[in-house]
Chain A
């Protein structure tokens, strides 16, 4: 069991990195990666929400949608769960950890429309054989860590780009995308790896 969870984690973080291999969560990856600090905060918030969302959507799928045979309501049910979850996390942080709440600011509500969160929920139940509760949560957590790793690395690169001499037409987004391409190329080194412990 432990070995399987480790394999799921390593695959989700490196081999099938959510941002650089699966192209999920590109909007915050490009939008919130100008500074390492904010990238770190965003990454941690996303990891937290993805873990919780994996758990809640698993329970919803297996105890509500499947027994009632209304799996086609998946997309609607999941997005509502995620929106409610983000709202709940926001209220909780505001009350009990106000420092983290103010640090995350606007990024917290935006997690609802982060496709990485809905993506991990949908991928968890599409696995063959399907993931159990623990496996789904570990996959959610590890995919979140993969997002965290990618966005922090990219923020580090972008901080350096600020000081480099870039042709006028390529300043800003174009050069950021080209750098992201090089980062994705680096992550391709992991492709094809599989873990059998």
Chain B
């Protein structure tokens, strides 16, 4: 049980896909213009990641290692299509605002990386927990970035106005995406270095 908890926490903090591994950058920067988009994208990716991890873990003894990448991509693309159609049917506004970034979950390196590095080597339950942890870690990172960008750039949070008179529109435009992520990573390094300094 503690093993599973460790796997789960690993994705959330120690190996957070966005802030530590720096993979899956395209959706991280592109859809984080509002908190709702960030959460929607994060949860969609989490569902695909968990399901594909389960499926690949189940099939890990059947897939020949020479064609494994092609097989993984086909499995991931199937789940992405399912999510894409579900979102179009039940959450059309979210589907519109995420646009082509929903089908582009297929080429999100996080999902393929977890398939290759974890699900192909571990049991079903552990792989599912790993997918869930990594996915929620990704969601958490997207929420943080998109909350900062929405508050500073639009002066709202989840669409509710905060009474900021002149929001800096540049924050919800492309330069703001790069800037926010760069500054978050820098600040995290500052904290890490301080802590490291105290220990030694």
Binding site for B on A (CB under 8 A): 20-27, 30, 72-76, 79-80, 83, 112-115, 118-119, 122-123, 126, 167-170, 173-178, 180-182, 184-185, 187-188
Residue numbers in B under 8 Å from A182 (CB-CB) = 175
**B117 CB, min distance to chain A CBs, angstroms:** 14
CA distance A168 to B78 in the complex (A): 44
CA distance A27 to B30 in the complex (A): 12
A selection of 13 A-B contacts at a CB cut-off of 8 Å is A26-B29, A27-B25, A30-B25, A73-B81, A80-B77, A113-B107, A167-B186, A169-B186, A170-B186, A175-B182, A184-B174, A184-B178, A187-B174
**A70 CB, min distance to chain B CBs, angstroms:** 11
Q: Which residue of A lies closest to B29 (CB)?
A: A23
Residue numbers in A under 8 Å from B192 (CB-CB) = 169
CA distance A76 to B178 in the complex (A): 30
**B131 CB, min distance to chain A CBs, angstroms:** 18
Q: Which residue of A lies closest to B25 (CB)?
A: A26
Knowing A23-B26, A27-B26, A115-B104, say if A185 contacts B185 (CB, 8 Å).
Answer: no
Query: What 9 pairs between A and B have smallest CB-CB spacing?
Result: A177-B182, A23-B30, A181-B178, A174-B186, A169-B189, A181-B179, A26-B25, A178-B182, A184-B175
Q: Which residue of A lies closest to B78 (CB)?
A: A76
Q: Which residue of B lies closest to A182 (CB)?
A: B175
CA distance A22 to B179 in the complex (A): 15
Residue numbers in A under 8 Å from B189 (CB-CB) = 168-170, 174
Count of B interface residues, CB-CB < 8 Å:
43
Looking at chain A's contact residues, is the secondary structure mostly helix, strand, loop, or mixed?
helix
CA distance A181 to B185 in the complex (A): 14
Are the CB atoms of B175 and A30 closer together than 8 Å? no
Residue numbers in B under 8 Å from A173 (CB-CB) = 22, 182, 185
- Of A27, A76, A115, A185, the residue contacting B170 (CB under 8 A) is A185
Q: Which residue of A lies closest to B108 (CB)?
A: A115
Knowing A115-B26, A177-B181, say if A83 contacts B73 (CB, 8 Å).
Answer: yes
CA distance A129 to B17 in the complex (A): 38
Are the CB atoms of A168 and B193 closer together than 8 Å? yes
Q: Which residue of A lies closest to B81 (CB)?
A: A75
Are the CB atoms of B100 and A76 closer together than 8 Å? no
Q: Does B47 contact A (CB under 8 A)?
A: no
CA distance A126 to B77 in the complex (A): 19
Residue numbers in B under 8 Å from A21 (CB-CB) = 174
**A151 CB, min distance to chain B CBs, angstroms:** 14
Are the CB atoms of B30 and A169 closer together than 8 Å? no
**A1 CB, min distance to chain B CBs, angstroms:** 27
Are the CB atoms of A23 and B177 closer together than 8 Å? yes
CA distance A112 to B179 in the complex (A): 28
Mark contacts of B156-200 with chain A using CB atoms, 8 A cut-off: 1 yes-contact digit, 0 otherwise.
000000000000001001111111011101110110110000000
Are the CB atoms of A181 and B100 closer together than 8 Å? no
Q: Does B140 contact A (CB under 8 A)?
A: no
